[in-house]
Structure 1
C-alpha cells in the first residue's frame, strides 16, 4: 500500500510524521521553510489519516514508512515525528538504524512507556463518546485535551478538521490489528532531539525526559509554553528550532 504524501525541495531527506489527532496538514507551517532551508522534505499521511485509506488487514506504520522511502529511492532520512508520528519514528530508528540520519521528536509517544491512569482514562472517555456516536463531543474533548494555551482558534479548528477526518476514515473501516514487532530503543544510533511541552500531559514529558538515558546520542529540551502540538502552537519558533538542530547534524543543500 502506498501512503499519500507530498515532497518538495532538494538536499538531505527529511520525513515529517504527524500526530494521531492530525494528518500531514499539521506540517503546513514547516513544510516550505524546511524545503527552502536546503532539504528534500516529505510528509505523509499514515494509514487511516488524511488521504490515506484505513488498512484492510494487519499493518505496521514503521514498515509502511520504510516502504515509502524505498519507493522514493531514499536510503537515509532524518525523521521529524510528533506524538504518534514520534512513536513511529522511534520504532523505525530502532529497527532500521541504517535508514535514519537524525531524529527530532516533538512530544513523542513510546511503546515502552506504561500509560498513566490519567492518559488511559482520557482514551476511555474518547472511545465511549465515539462508540455512542457523539463525534462532536469526542472532537471537543481531543481539542481541549491536546492543544496548549498557545494554540489559537485557527489551530483548534485545524485539529478539529483533521481529527474528524480520521474518525470518518477509521470508523468506516472498523478495527484492524496493528502489528507490533519487538525492538529495543538502545539500538537507535541517530542523533536525537527529544522535545517536550511544559503544558502537555505528563506522560509525554516523562518519555522525552527519559530518552537521553536510553539512547546513544540524545538530548532533551522542554518548551515551557508548549502543549502537545508545539509545531502548530508556535510554528515559527519550532521551525527555527528544527532548522538549527538539523543544521548541526546534516549539511543542507547550498542555495
Structure 2
C-alpha cells in the first residue's frame, strides 16, 4: 500500500472528485446531467421571453385600440359640446331677435342673453381645448364657423332692422371672411397666429354688438355708438396687420424653398 506513487493517489482522488458528490457515478454522466439542466433552464428562459414578448404585443395592441377609442370619443369632449351649443344658439338668437317685429324690449333682452352665452362659450371652449388637450379636427373647423355665424347673424339682423348701417356689417363681415380666406391661402408657408389686437377686436365687437342688441336709450345709446366706432377701427387695423403678416410669411416661405435646393447642391 505504501508503494503506490503519490501521483497515482492524486489521480485517483481527482477521479473520485470529478465523479460528483460523494464520489459516486461516472464523470461523463454527471457532466451530461449538468448540460441537460443548463439546457432546460435556457429553454425555460426562452419560453418566458417568448411569453413576455407575446404579452407585450397584446398590451401594445390593446393600447392602440384604447387610444383609437379615446380619439373617436374625443369629438364629444366638453370644448366641442360648447362649440355645438354656440351653433345651436344661432337660429334661436335670430328667432328671438326678430320676434314681435324685432323692436320688443323683452324679446331683445332674451336675444341679448343668447348672444352673451354664445360669446362667453367662445372664450371658454378654446381655453379648455388647449389646456386639457381636447383639440380635434372637428373643433378646428366648427369653432371659427360658430364664431362667424353668431356675429354675422347679429350684424345682419341689426342692419335689417335699421339699427346699424349696412356698411358697418359689410366692413366687419368682409374683414372676417377675408382674413379666414387669407389664412388658408398662406397655410402652406405657415400659420398666422392670433394677435393681441385681434383678441381685443373680438372683445370690442362683442361688447358693441351686444349693446346694439339691447334696446338702449339715453347716454347708453350714445356710448354704444363710440364702442362700435372703436370696434370698426380695430377691425380695419388688425385686418391690415394680418395682411402684412401674410405677405411676410409668404415671402419667407418662398425664400426658404429656393434656398433649400442650393444648400443641397452645395
TM above 0.5, yes or no, is no
Relative to its length, the structure with more helix (as a share) is: 2
Q: Which of the pair has the greater relative contact order for Cα pairs under 8 Å at 6+ separation?
A: 1
TM-score, with length taken from structure 1: 0.24
Relative to its length, the structure with more strand (as a share) is: 1
Larger Rg: 2
